[in-house]
A and B are shown apart, each in its own frame.
Chain A
């Protein structure tokens, strides 16, 4: 294929963990120095490969949470207790360690910031990671694209990027953030406190007449439900882009 010849293979390369950020008790962002990184679009992911001392290898995919503008490549990983790779990346890896990766991958669940349609982002848990790359891309370019994030977490302590989202939403440049906490909420909590439902989407989502573009990312049941509700509300299915992960993300 001519296209293959032009683009070449995505080769495995090394990233060095320059900084580890514990986002929540179970979620860490790994900020990687990747010398030959070819750049990426907000919403794309990378494959990560880890190798044991006897040569055994395991691969997983992780969304990129840094915007294209950052000098470091960030992935945000939730530790799954019965997982294989995530307990290594969240708990074992230290600053200075090398991680093998290849990417960027995926050309559909991306937001370039080059169109004026309002954006609705719907996140469940660590599914917020690729959406955060979009929000950061928007901020880095001082874009005013009307953008709403509806973000479902189990509890207040499970909210990833909480302070940064608060800061970005307070800038008054067209980004709003609505949280819902599905299991526990602190006293005095004024956000939503239930799973995402049609009433919540009716309050948060853009009217369909504004032709919003929608990105939904999270666990499969949440994504299925939110995407179906949006279609029931009259959203064009083609404008609703989904990314899902199962309980087996590892």
Chain B
């Protein structure tokens, strides 16, 4: 890199945190909010979660049924495509593996869909094998609506738009179907370590 921004020094981080930051990201301590429209308000009495699509019989849970499922507590670094990363975020949720128990499907892709109409797509193998959760607590507290409550997806190994807020279900599909941001200029896969932010990255 021969170009230098004359007079720019920047804020260096220690090496330990640098190695945890994907390229182009910077570390924040607060929890910024990003979403494309108003925050939906979903009373848990009206909430349900469904797995549908390429599955013999859709599986669904009411809030009470969902909350009786075994939960996991996980601590993860998260990375937003708008460049902030946040380390050691603590979540409580139900593993997608738990939700997918007993499901037989030939589908290779999944669409997360949300209250409010948001969608995001990813390969099924990116939400199974201990890689994804339906999270309902952040730092031990009920997930605030601004951050996706009552429940959101947590897929921390991809940029955070792949972790749909206000999630309502997973649709198992044979053909990949680009979601909301994926149709609006953002990368179809979104690996932060390969800086796959936009189309063509």
Q: Which residues of A contact B (CB under 8 A)?
A: 1, 3-4, 7-10, 14, 47, 49-53, 55-61, 84-85, 88, 92-93, 97-100, 105-109, 220, 224, 227-228, 230-231, 237-238, 240-242, 244-248, 250
Contacts and interface: CB of A to CB of B under 8 A. Distances in A.
Contacts of A98: 3, 5
Contact of B36 (A47, A51, A108, A224): A108
Nearest to B82: A61
B7 A7 contact: no
B5 A51 contact: yes
B1 A51 contact: yes
B138 interface: no
A99 B5 CA distance: 7
Interface stretch (B22-30, B58-66, B101-109): B22-30
Contact of B185 (A53, A106, A224, A241): A106
At the interface, is chain B mostly helix, strand, loop or mixed?
loop
A207 B145 CA distance: 27
A237 B116 CA distance: 8
Given A9-B200, A59-B24, A248-B28, A92 B7 contact: yes
Interface in B15-40: 24, 26, 28, 30, 32-40
B117 interface: yes
A247 B185 CA distance: 25
Contacts of A1: 188
16 contacts: A8-B200, A9-B201, A10-B198, A51-B1, A51-B3, A51-B4, A51-B5, A52-B5, A53-B4, A57-B10, A61-B82, A61-B83, A108-B184, A224-B146, A227-B39, A237-B40
Secondary structure of the A side of the interface?
mixed
A227 B38 contact: yes
Given A107-B183, A227-B38, A240-B38, A4 B200 contact: yes
A7 B8 contact: no
Given A92-B8, A228-B38, A237-B38, A220 B199 contact: no
Contact of B10 (A56, A97, A228, A240): A56
Q: What are the 7 closest A-B residue pairs judged by CB atoms, nearest first?
A: A246-B32, A107-B184, A9-B200, A227-B38, A50-B5, A92-B7, A59-B24
